[in-house]
Structure 1
Amino acid sequence: MDYKNVWQEVDKNEYDEIFAYSKKYMNFLDKGKTERLCTKEIIRIAKEKGFVELKSALENGPLKKGDKVYLNNKNKSAVLLVMGKNLLDGMKIVGSHIDSPRLDLKANPLYEEDNLALLKTHYYGGVKKYQWTAIPLAIHGIVFNKEGKEINVSIGDDEDDPVLYITDLLIHLSKDQMAKKLAEGISGEQLNVLIGHDSFKGKDSESDNKVKDNILKMIKDKYNFEEDDFKVAELEVVPAGKAKDVGLDRSMIAAHGHDDRVCSFASLEAILNAGENDTTLCSLFADKEEIGSVGNAGMDSYYLENMIASIFAASGDNAMYKARVCLSNSKVLSADVTVACDPSFPEVLEKKNACRFGGGVGLAKYTGSRGKGGSNDANAEFLHEVRNIFNKADVVWQTGELGKIDQGGGGTIAFILARYGAEVVDCGTAMLSMHAPIELVSKADAYMTYKAYKAFLEA
């Protein structure tokens, strides 16, 4: 296959746009370290661009062409929609997810042992557990105290914040550990986050857990919640620090959460900048993709269908039937990342059918694993249509699969939207170190992903 190189295809103006776009994207990453924070930032930006909360908009009667509305689903997923001429004709949808692999605190996380205060965690999504040791970490999330007050917690990402840490075994004593399989070198129960060590303020206490007691006092003083309130909290451990330029040429971005916020931000920018269209435009930002798209904020719930039904209900009967007709007539880019060729690990890829770094947005006819298990498997007619859209808009694009057939694989939200009868194909950014605490994308590919989504919505 002949691959194009984004850097060789763009002119000076578009070259400058790549770096301007990347700066905005990196700012989005810094503000959206969790799915809750992403949802908050997406809605903030959408409101600045004239989007109105769906329920409020419907109080003024049925929606009309050009109306811009958003749905906030449980503060953990969102939908942006720009009304077209006839919703029943279907929508152009770009569907991404905003959750990423991480560590979640357990319900009873805090304990003291050997003069150290630690937090028990449960990893979320597919991770290599050893990658989470010996790096600076942060915590973000919410807690409800006994008075019912929602408390936002953020530790580790502000300039003057302390960070947290998970230890690894010193090399001098690692003979047995090093003999294990890589997947067994660190167990899930060893991913314990160090949060304190100081027992000075509790030295006169009769408690045997002076370090823990000091941490609880600090939590009470700053955040006004107690140990029992951990039981009703959502607290996520993520790598500390901001997104960073990579390379002397600053051509790449290292950050937590590229999967799938690189596609989510591209979808957000695309719908905000798309020109007027007779077709209804929709950008989805789903939660829970990394654990199977389950739960009431995941794509497998009915919040999109219910949203469309509520729009039809404002102007007549048969709302749910019409919502399903609308979805069956829709065309979808399932916006999720794929793997790029890594010269350090060539053995897992079939290079004739793999994406390249800098090769533009990646189009995948199917994902799944091995015998296309769990795949949507887009049809040729829709692929032809998408190819024409991209070529007409001078989008640099490539095709690729997620590794060799028998090597493994992965899935996206594509099959969920396809079950309505919609035309769906996977389309997203090729990246390196996927699911690592810090992942890597090309600025050229991130920008071309945005350009592809915008062209699709405008076509």
Structure 2
Amino acid sequence: MDELASSSKSGWEIYRSAEDRRAMTALADDYIRFISEGKTERETVEGVIAALEKAGYVEGFHADKVWRTLHGKALFVARKGRRPLSDGIRLISAHTDSPRLDLKQHPLMEQVGVGQAKTHYYGGLRKYQWFARPLAIHGVIVKTDGELIRVNLGEDDADPVFTVADLLPHLAHKDGNLKLSEAFDAEKLNVIVGHEPVLADGDKDDDKAPKEAVKARVLQLLHEKYGIREDDLISAELEVVPAGPARYVGLDKGIVGGYGQDDRICVYTALRALLDAEDPEYTCCLIFWDKEEIGSDGSTGASSRFFQYCVEDLAAAWEPQTPFRTIMMNTKAVSGDVHAAVDPDWQDRHELKNSAFFGYGVAFCKFTGSRGKYGANDAHPEYIGWMRGVLDAKNVPWQIAELGKVDVGGGGTVALFLAAYGMDVVDAGPALLGMHSPFELSSVPDIYATKLAYQAFLEAK
């Protein structure tokens, strides 16, 4: 009777041939490059557009392979299929943003001879993880004349890095009894940016050192490199992220470690799936949103009208007789987002019969939300049954999971924003260890399985 019981197989077991192992490694190598080069929303979108243009995609909706971006942080992509738009589209969504520290608009200050930049953390992070580690600063500065200056400091071997200093244990005894939520003050997530002061000219009696001499030196250096003044930081978007590239983890190189895998792993695998899909029957679309980590609000978030406007304009160019609502009601979608893998040291936080395991393929999540499924899409069983058949036909490993024990876990994705249009949608993506940390972990076979799962979905009849 064992053949009647539910079972799952590791991706290592399914992808055991030499050909699969070579393809799996090649994909992981390229993925490491992708997330190492794209640590912000803008950088991620730029990387995707570069790959699209290399594959023949053009901006606008006057061709069969097209894309459109909004503020450089959200991106819509479409590839015409054999069927008309009135039959619906195959859609994969993902998000380009990740938890980080953002520089405040008046960031620079000096305390006891140390130059610092004040930050406001973005998204759900554990503050203690951002102390005492090398950090980089990525982003843009926009001057009053509209000039946009790109910033990328801390990644090149010749660059300095930045950091948030932690309190030495000798002086932290009284903090031991504090709650974790109280022990790390967000206003002390100040990034060290300098130490050398501007000195007075000893040959001139009237030449005095500035009151904040270290801050003045930081401003000098910024002016020399970027031609900016302090007020230009008001119209800047500067993100503090972990410095350094993603790396393989483990003696067997079976794990990828790096920043921002939630959710750029789904951006990458969806992109590769679209580029590799063979002669899709339905029009295939990708929508990559910003702001998911802070509720999906804003013009580049999933609660905006960007997706709707893109599909309406696509229909106007390709099939003007078809109403938007007809396309949406016939659409099938995957909300590409990562899941929480069972942590080997914290297994008690998971309900193991309904949890995702590292290396066991793409994880479907019927519902997200929390505390009684609030804020969830809760996919329909007919759609999950169809998705099971699509992946089983291609021998793609998959698993079904929820995010932690009832009343312990929970989380949200963009699936409910897509479901509002009437389409079928389910969450699906690889499971990570250390999610939302500065160094998240993904399984090499899971990266491969997710790409193949998304490709099978796009190619499905």
| Per-residue Cα deviation, 1:191-216 (whole angstroms, up to 9, x for no partner) | 00000001155676431111110110
Question: Percent same amino acid at aligned positions?
Answer: 42
Number of equivalenced pairs: 448
Structure 2 CA distance, aligned partners of 1:115 and 1:315?
Answer: 62
| Match in the other structure for 1:44 | 50
The CA deviation at 1:89 is 1.4
Q: Of 194, 212, 215, which aligns to 1:196?
A: 194
| Match in the other structure for 1:289 | 292
| Match in the other structure for 1:117 | 115
| Match in the other structure for 1:3 | 8
| Match in the other structure for 2:254 | 251
Structure 1 CA distance, aligned partners of 2:49 and 2:366?
Answer: 31
Go from structure 1 to structure 2 and tell me whether the alpha carbon gap of 1:345 and 1:370 turns closer, same or farther (over 3 Å shift). same
| Match in the other structure for 1:19 | 25
| Per-residue Cα deviation, 1:399-427 (whole angstroms, up to 9, x for no partner) | 11100011031010000000100000000
Taking only aligned residues, the RMSD between alpha carbons, in angstroms, comes to 1.3
The CA deviation at 1:316 is 7.0
- Whether 2:108 is the aligned partner of 1:103: answer no
**Residue type matched to 2:77 in 1?**
L
| Match in the other structure for 2:403 | 402
- Whether 2:265 is the aligned partner of 1:266: answer no
| Per-residue Cα deviation, 1:217-239 (whole angstroms, up to 9, x for no partner) | 00000011110011111000000
**Residue type matched to 1:118 in 2?**
Q
Q: Give the secondary structure class of the aligned counterpart of 1:225.
A: coil
Structure 1 CA distance, aligned partners of 2:317 and 2:122?
Answer: 39
Does the Cα contact within 8 Å between 1:145 and 1:226 map onto a contact in 2?
Answer: no
- Whether 2:167 is the aligned partner of 1:169: answer yes
Matches within 5 A, 1:32-431: 32-54=38-60, 57-58=61-62, 67-84=64-81, 85-199=83-197, 201=199, 205-314=208-317, 322-431=323-432
Go from structure 1 to structure 2 and tell me whether the alpha carbon gap of 1:257 and 1:202 turns closer, same or farther (over 3 Å shift). farther
Does the Cα contact within 8 Å between 1:330 and 1:422 map onto a contact in 2?
Answer: yes
Structure 1 CA distance, aligned partners of 2:209 and 2:196?
Answer: 16
Structure 1 CA distance, aligned partners of 2:318 and 2:250?
Answer: 55
Q: TM-score, structure 2 length as denominator?
A: 0.95
The CA deviation at 1:369 is 0.6
Q: Give the secondary structure class of the aligned counterpart of 1:96.
A: strand
Go from structure 1 to structure 2 and tell me whether the alpha carbon gap of 1:49 and 1:344 turns closer, same or farther (over 3 Å shift). same
Structure 1 CA distance, aligned partners of 2:171 and 2:318?
Answer: 71
Structure 1 CA distance, aligned partners of 2:131 and 2:400?
Answer: 35
Does the Cα contact within 8 Å between 1:201 and 1:214 map onto a contact in 2?
Answer: no
**Residue type matched to 1:323 in 2?**
F
| Match in the other structure for 2:204 | none
Residue range with higher mean Cα deviation, 179-188 or 106-115: 179-188
The CA deviation at 1:315 is 5.9
Go from structure 1 to structure 2 and tell me whether the alpha carbon gap of 1:200 and 1:391 turns closer, same or farther (over 3 Å shift). same
Go from structure 1 to structure 2 and tell me whether the alpha carbon gap of 1:205 and 1:256 turns closer, same or farther (over 3 Å shift). farther
**Residue type matched to 2:42 in 1?**
R
Q: Give the secondary structure class of the aligned counterpart of 1:177.
A: helix
The CA deviation at 1:145 is 2.1
| Per-residue Cα deviation, 1:311-350 (whole angstroms, up to 9, x for no partner) | 222367677xx12321221101100000111110011100
Structure 2 CA distance, aligned partners of 1:296 and 1:53?
Answer: 20
**Residue type matched to 1:18 in 2?**
M
Does the Cα contact within 8 Å between 2:8 and 2:397 map onto a contact in 1?
Answer: no
**Residue type matched to 2:343 in 1?**
D
Q: Give the secondary structure class of the aligned counterpart of 1:369.
A: coil
Q: Of 31, 36, 39, which aligns to 1:30?
A: 36
The CA deviation at 1:374 is 0.5
Does the Cα contact within 8 Å between 1:202 and 1:211 map onto a contact in 2?
Answer: no
The CA deviation at 1:146 is 3.5
Q: Give the secondary structure class of the aligned counterpart of 2:299.
A: coil
| Per-residue Cα deviation, 1:21-64 (whole angstroms, up to 9, x for no partner) | 0000000001101000001110011000000101xx43xxxx5x
Structure 1 CA distance, aligned partners of 2:92 and 2:335?
Answer: 6
Does the Cα contact within 8 Å between 2:289 and 2:302 map onto a contact in 1?
Answer: yes
Residue range with higher mean Cα deviation, 191-200 or 419-428: 191-200
The CA deviation at 1:9 is 1.3
Structure 1 CA distance, aligned partners of 2:102 and 2:146?
Answer: 22
The CA deviation at 1:77 is 1.1
| Per-residue Cα deviation, 1:52-91 (whole angstroms, up to 9, x for no partner) | 101xx43xxxx5xxx1000111100111110123112110
The CA deviation at 1:144 is 1.3
The CA deviation at 1:179 is 1.4
Q: Give the secondary structure class of the aligned counterpart of 1:456.
A: helix
Go from structure 1 to structure 2 and tell me whether the alpha carbon gap of 1:201 and 1:158 turns closer, same or farther (over 3 Å shift). farther
| Per-residue Cα deviation, 1:246-299 (whole angstroms, up to 9, x for no partner) | 000010011000100111100000001101122100111111000011111111
Structure 2 CA distance, aligned partners of 1:171 and 1:118?
Answer: 22
Q: Give the secondary structure class of the aligned counterpart of 1:112.
A: strand
The CA deviation at 1:447 is 1.1
